[in-house]
A = this chain, B = another copy of it.
């Protein structure tokens, strides 16, 4: 984003090396990856890291939001391209959880483990807003039970994030979450195509 206003080339290069090392570490190990290791991978001392980014949150914010926003965009794009409101929400939730299983950094972000990372929180909040509208549409279309609020859906996703970051992880959690989501639809099997309803 900020193409680095600093005058000195070495500083710009070091910042760049740090960003790329950080990105790799954060994506691989989550947002708690040791900063000392990142600095080492960038061929620099930690002090330099702190000079450039202030603290862990600063570094996270400089590097992670963009990538996660891209991943989330893929999810929302695919979800929004579905025919029915139910499919849109269903796809969204499913892909979100798939993504959480692959991206520890996203789980850490959704769990708000680093609340000072403002840009990252924004990305999450924007995503939550999308989830809320998808839920709203699903409610309107009658395919999602009113008893399942938008906050419930967000909590479900949050829960997947928490599960995916628990140590050691228990593979069974996914079935439980799927069951919770499955029980939230009003029509037993297929989405109510527009209003062809034998709904209710």
Mask for A161-200, Cβ within 8 A of B = 1, else 0? 1110111101011011101101110000000000000000
Residues on B with beta carbons closer than 8 Å to the beta carbon of A162: 162-163, 166, 170, 173
A33 at the interface (CB under 8 A from B): no
Copies in the complex: 2
How far does the Cβ of A6 sit from chain B's closest Cβ, in whole Å? 35
A70 at the interface (CB under 8 A from B): no
A158 at the interface (CB under 8 A from B): yes
Which of B148, B152, B165, B175 interacts with A166 by CB under 8 Å?
B165
Residues on B with beta carbons closer than 8 Å to the beta carbon of A156: 176
Question: Can you list 17 A-B contacts with CB-CB less than 8 angstroms, sorted by A residue number?
Answer: A148-B179, A154-B172, A155-B173, A158-B173, A159-B159, A159-B173, A159-B176, A159-B177, A162-B173, A163-B163, A165-B166, A166-B166, A176-B177, A176-B180, A179-B180, A180-B183, A183-B183
Give A residues with C-beta under 8 Å from B.
111-113, 148, 151-152, 154-156, 158-159, 161-163, 165-168, 170, 172-173, 175-177, 179-180, 182-184
